[in-house]
Amino acid sequence: MKTYLLLLLFIFGVLPLQAQNSEFEIPALNESKQVKTDGLVQPHLDDFIALCKKYKVDYHDKLFNLKEIAVVDTLRVSPKGGTLGMLVRDNNNEVEKIIFSWMTLLDKEILKVVAFHEFGHYFLGYKHTCDDCNSIMAKVNTSYFDIIKDWDYHVEKLFTESPVYLKNQDIIALKD
């Protein structure tokens, strides 16, 4: 009986600890760049990239010029407001990171809107379109939930009115 007890302790006590500490080498993928992306933001990035493909917006080079897409605790937030997301630039004024405040994690819909907002700046060439107008690209949004209620409309507008998409349409028109 004592032997079985020791065996159970070994199996359930020691083996899980070793499994948690395991390290795996991830092979390099053809020496290409990789972007470190926070797992909480990844589904929104995947959705955004799928929409880039749908609207024929080139994203590949810009995506792999980034070093990181992350949730951080360093953005200024106060009871009166704060920064929920931003593009971080290097010394050459090139965007190297897209970061989101930990406050965006309080509600999945807020993270979704802020993620698309920041991706809109970076991938679609947007500046803010208004101060507070219930638009993904507004400088301030007093209700993210109003945007979410009509999400498909707002996303279509985000893409079809973007500087990059409109420029692509002009190029296509010139070719015709």
The per-residue pLDDT for range 86-98, each reduced to its tens digit, is 999 999 999 999 9
- According to the model, what pLDDT value does residue 26 have? 34
Query: DSSP for the chain?
Result: -HHHHHHHHIIIIIHHHHHHT---PPPPSTT----EE-TTTHHHHHHHHHHHHHTT---HHHHHH-SEEEEES-S-EETTEE--EEEEE-TTS-EEEEEEEGGGGG-HHHHHHHHHHHHHHHHH-----BSSSS-TTBS--S-HHHHHHTHHHHHHHHHHTSHHHHHHHHHHHHH-
Mean pLDDT of the chain: 82
Residue 171 pLDDT: 67
Q: Which segments in the chain show pLDDT lower than 50?
A: 2, 4-31
Helix axes of 42-54 and 108-124: crossing angle, nearest 10 degrees: 50
pLDDT, residue 19, reads 31
Q: Which pLDDT does position 29 carry in this prediction?
A: 40
Task: Read off the amino acid at residue 153.
Answer: Y
